[in-house]
Protein backbone atom coordinates (compact mmCIF):
# COMPACT_ATOMS: atom_id res chain seq x y z
CA UNK A 1 0.00 0.00 0.00
CA UNK A 2 1.22 3.53 -0.70
CA UNK A 3 2.68 5.33 2.30
CA UNK A 4 1.29 8.84 2.81
CA UNK A 5 3.01 11.18 5.24
CA UNK A 6 0.53 13.17 7.33
CA UNK A 7 2.40 16.23 8.58
CA UNK A 8 2.29 16.64 12.36
CA UNK A 9 2.78 20.22 13.51
CA UNK A 10 0.27 20.19 16.38
CA UNK A 11 -2.44 21.87 14.27
CA UNK A 12 -4.32 19.07 12.55
CA UNK A 13 -7.18 16.61 12.89
CA UNK A 14 -4.67 13.86 12.24
CA UNK A 15 -6.45 10.71 13.34
CA UNK A 16 -9.66 11.35 11.39
CA UNK A 17 -7.60 11.97 8.24
CA UNK A 18 -5.63 8.78 8.85
CA UNK A 19 -8.81 6.71 9.26
CA UNK A 20 -10.02 8.02 5.92
CA UNK A 21 -6.73 7.16 4.25
CA UNK A 22 -6.79 3.64 5.69
CA UNK A 23 -10.32 3.12 4.32
CA UNK A 24 -9.02 4.36 0.96
CA UNK A 25 -6.29 1.70 0.97
CA UNK A 26 -3.22 3.71 1.99
CA UNK A 27 -0.81 3.51 4.92
CA UNK A 28 -0.76 6.85 6.75
CA UNK A 29 2.35 7.89 8.64
CA UNK A 30 1.92 10.76 11.10
CA UNK A 31 5.30 12.47 11.15
CA UNK A 32 7.31 15.64 11.50
CA UNK A 33 10.49 14.02 10.19
CA UNK A 34 11.84 15.68 7.02
CA UNK A 35 13.40 12.33 6.06
CA UNK A 36 10.05 10.54 6.32
CA UNK A 37 8.38 13.25 4.23
CA UNK A 38 11.04 12.67 1.58
CA UNK A 39 10.60 8.89 1.68
CA UNK A 40 6.78 8.92 1.57
CA UNK A 41 4.88 8.32 -1.65
CA UNK A 42 2.71 11.38 -1.00
CA UNK A 43 2.14 14.09 1.61
CA UNK A 44 -0.98 15.45 3.30
CA UNK A 45 -0.87 18.74 5.21
CA UNK A 46 -3.94 18.96 7.46
CA UNK A 47 -4.72 21.91 9.68
CA UNK A 48 -7.15 23.26 12.25
CA UNK A 49 -6.67 26.57 14.05
CA UNK A 50 -5.08 29.93 13.31
CA UNK A 51 -2.67 30.98 10.57
CA UNK A 52 0.21 32.44 12.62
CA UNK A 53 0.63 29.53 15.08
CA UNK A 54 0.47 27.10 12.17
CA UNK A 55 3.33 28.60 10.21
CA UNK A 56 5.30 29.17 13.41
CA UNK A 57 4.97 25.51 14.39
CA UNK A 58 5.95 24.38 10.90
CA UNK A 59 9.05 26.53 10.91
CA UNK A 60 9.98 25.56 14.47
CA UNK A 61 10.00 21.93 13.36
CA UNK A 62 12.05 22.68 10.27
CA UNK A 63 9.26 21.59 7.93
CA UNK A 64 8.95 24.55 5.56
CA UNK A 65 11.67 23.49 3.13
CA UNK A 66 10.80 19.76 3.25
CA UNK A 67 7.18 20.63 2.31
CA UNK A 68 8.39 22.81 -0.55
CA UNK A 69 10.78 20.05 -1.65
CA UNK A 70 8.00 17.45 -1.57
CA UNK A 71 5.81 19.57 -3.85
CA UNK A 72 8.71 20.39 -6.16
CA UNK A 73 9.57 16.68 -6.45
CA UNK A 74 6.25 16.00 -8.13
CA UNK A 75 4.82 13.65 -5.52
CA UNK A 76 1.10 14.05 -4.85
CA UNK A 77 0.38 16.64 -2.16
CA UNK A 78 -2.95 17.45 -0.50
CA UNK A 79 -3.61 20.37 1.86
CA UNK A 80 -6.73 20.36 4.03
CA UNK A 81 -8.43 23.46 5.54
CA UNK A 82 -5.67 25.43 7.30
CA UNK A 83 -3.25 23.24 5.34
CA UNK A 84 -4.58 25.00 2.23
CA UNK A 85 -4.32 28.49 3.68
CA UNK A 86 -0.70 28.29 4.84
CA UNK A 87 0.40 27.45 1.29
CA UNK A 88 -0.36 31.08 0.40
CA UNK A 89 1.78 34.18 0.83
CA UNK A 90 -0.05 35.88 3.71
CA UNK A 91 -3.28 36.03 5.68
CA UNK A 92 -5.42 38.82 7.05
CA UNK A 93 -5.78 36.59 10.13
CA UNK A 94 -2.18 37.23 11.17
CA UNK A 95 1.16 38.86 10.46
CA UNK A 96 3.40 35.89 9.72
CA UNK A 97 4.36 35.15 6.11
CA UNK A 98 2.86 32.00 4.69
CA UNK A 99 4.85 29.38 2.81
CA UNK A 100 4.39 31.30 -0.46
CA UNK A 101 4.00 28.14 -2.53
CA UNK A 102 0.83 29.58 -4.05
CA UNK A 103 0.63 33.27 -4.92
CA UNK A 104 -2.24 35.07 -3.25
CA UNK A 105 -3.67 35.98 0.14
CA UNK A 106 -6.03 34.53 2.73
CA UNK A 107 -8.97 36.85 3.42
CA UNK A 108 -11.82 36.98 5.96
CA UNK A 109 -15.46 36.66 4.98
CA UNK A 110 -17.15 40.05 4.97
CA UNK A 111 -19.98 40.34 7.51
CA UNK A 112 -23.50 40.13 6.10
CA UNK A 113 -26.93 40.22 7.76
CA UNK A 114 -28.13 36.75 8.81
CA UNK A 115 -24.90 35.06 7.65
CA UNK A 116 -22.85 33.26 10.27
CA UNK A 117 -19.08 33.53 10.47
CA UNK A 118 -17.45 31.07 10.68
CA UNK A 119 -19.00 29.38 7.70
CA UNK A 120 -19.88 26.06 9.32
CA UNK A 121 -21.70 23.01 8.02
CA UNK A 122 -22.60 21.38 4.72
CA UNK A 123 -22.45 23.40 1.54
CA UNK A 124 -22.40 22.65 -2.17
CA UNK A 125 -19.31 22.99 -4.29
CA UNK A 126 -19.33 24.60 -7.71
CA UNK A 127 -16.70 22.56 -9.52
CA UNK A 128 -14.55 24.64 -11.87
CA UNK A 129 -12.03 21.94 -12.86
CA UNK A 130 -14.33 19.02 -13.72
CA UNK A 131 -11.43 16.94 -15.02
CA UNK A 132 -9.46 17.16 -11.76
CA UNK A 133 -8.83 13.77 -10.13
CA UNK A 134 -10.30 15.22 -6.93
CA UNK A 135 -13.83 14.95 -8.35
CA UNK A 136 -13.70 11.55 -10.05
CA UNK A 137 -16.65 9.22 -9.31
CA UNK A 138 -18.54 12.06 -7.61
CA UNK A 139 -21.86 13.71 -8.49
CA UNK A 140 -21.56 17.12 -10.09
CA UNK A 141 -21.24 19.90 -7.50
CA UNK A 142 -21.12 17.65 -4.41
CA UNK A 143 -21.93 18.65 -0.82
CA UNK A 144 -19.03 18.79 1.67
CA UNK A 145 -18.45 19.99 5.23
CA UNK A 146 -16.84 23.37 6.03
CA UNK A 147 -15.60 25.13 9.17
CA UNK A 148 -13.78 28.40 8.37
CA UNK A 149 -13.83 32.17 8.76
CA UNK A 150 -11.13 32.80 6.15
CA UNK A 151 -10.76 31.77 2.51
CA UNK A 152 -7.93 31.75 -0.01
CA UNK A 153 -7.79 34.24 -2.86
CA UNK A 154 -5.30 32.98 -5.47
CA UNK A 155 -3.81 35.44 -7.96
CA UNK A 156 -4.07 32.85 -10.74
CA UNK A 157 -7.77 31.95 -11.13
CA UNK A 158 -6.86 28.94 -13.27
CA UNK A 159 -5.78 26.94 -10.22
CA UNK A 160 -9.29 27.05 -8.69
CA UNK A 161 -10.75 23.55 -8.74
CA UNK A 162 -14.00 24.52 -7.01
CA UNK A 163 -15.78 27.45 -5.38
CA UNK A 164 -18.43 27.72 -2.67
CA UNK A 165 -21.02 30.41 -1.99
CA UNK A 166 -21.73 31.69 1.52
CA UNK A 167 -24.26 34.50 1.64
CA UNK A 168 -23.48 36.64 -1.38
CA UNK A 169 -19.78 35.75 -1.39
CA UNK A 170 -18.40 33.11 -3.75
CA UNK A 171 -14.92 32.03 -2.75
CA UNK A 172 -12.30 29.42 -3.58
CA UNK A 173 -13.05 26.04 -2.01
CA UNK A 174 -10.29 23.97 -3.65
CA UNK A 175 -7.21 24.41 -5.78
CA UNK A 176 -5.41 21.98 -8.06
CA UNK A 177 -2.33 22.37 -10.21
CA UNK A 178 -0.32 19.37 -11.38
CA UNK A 179 0.60 17.35 -8.25
CA UNK A 180 -0.53 20.05 -5.79
CA UNK A 181 -4.10 19.89 -4.52
CA UNK A 182 -5.70 21.53 -1.50
CA UNK A 183 -9.23 21.94 -0.18
CA UNK A 184 -10.86 24.35 2.27
CA UNK A 185 -13.45 21.82 3.42
CA UNK A 186 -12.86 18.71 5.53
CA UNK A 187 -12.94 15.46 3.53
CA UNK A 188 -12.63 13.49 6.78
CA UNK A 189 -15.94 15.05 7.93
CA UNK A 190 -17.71 14.86 4.58
CA UNK A 191 -19.09 11.30 4.77
CA UNK A 192 -18.96 9.20 1.58
CA UNK A 193 -18.12 12.20 -0.62
CA UNK A 194 -15.06 12.97 1.49
CA UNK A 195 -13.97 9.35 1.52
CA UNK A 196 -14.22 9.27 -2.27
CA UNK A 197 -12.05 12.40 -2.51
CA UNK A 198 -9.41 10.75 -0.31
CA UNK A 199 -9.73 7.59 -2.43
CA UNK A 200 -9.18 9.67 -5.58
CA UNK A 201 -6.03 11.11 -4.02
CA UNK A 202 -4.77 7.63 -3.11
CA UNK A 203 -5.51 6.49 -6.68
CA UNK A 204 -3.31 9.29 -7.99
CA UNK A 205 -0.54 8.17 -5.62
CA UNK A 206 -0.82 4.62 -6.96
CA UNK A 207 -0.59 5.90 -10.55
CA UNK A 208 2.50 7.93 -9.65
CA UNK A 209 4.17 4.88 -8.09
CA UNK A 210 3.35 2.72 -11.11
CA UNK A 211 4.58 5.26 -13.66
Pairing, β 77-80 against β 42-45: parallel
- The answer to whether the CB of 15 falls within 8 A of the CB of 29 is no
Question: How buried is residue 51: exposed, middle or buried, by Cβ count under 10 Å (0-12/13-18/19+)?
Answer: buried
Three-state DSSP at 137 gives: coil
Phi and psi torsions of 103, nearest 5°:
-75, 135
Is 18 a known active-site residue? no
Is 186 a known active-site residue? yes
Alpha helices in 75-190 (DSSP H): 82-85
Indicate the helix (H) or strand (E) that contains 200: helix 191-210
Phi and psi torsions of 151, nearest 5°:
-140, 155
- The answer to whether the CB of 53 falls within 8 A of the CB of 84 is no
Contact residues for 175 (Cβ-Cβ < 8 A; gap 6+): 84, 102, 152, 154, 159, 160, 161, 181, 182
Choosing from 18, 57, 81, 148, the catalytic residue is 81
Q: What residues are labeled active site?
A: 81, 186, 188
Amino acid sequence: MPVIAVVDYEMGNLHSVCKGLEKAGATPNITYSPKELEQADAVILPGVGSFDPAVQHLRARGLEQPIKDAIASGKPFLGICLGLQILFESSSEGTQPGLGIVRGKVRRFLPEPDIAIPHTGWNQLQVTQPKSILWEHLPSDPWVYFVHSYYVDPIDPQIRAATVTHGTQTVTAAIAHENLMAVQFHPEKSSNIGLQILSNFVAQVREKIAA
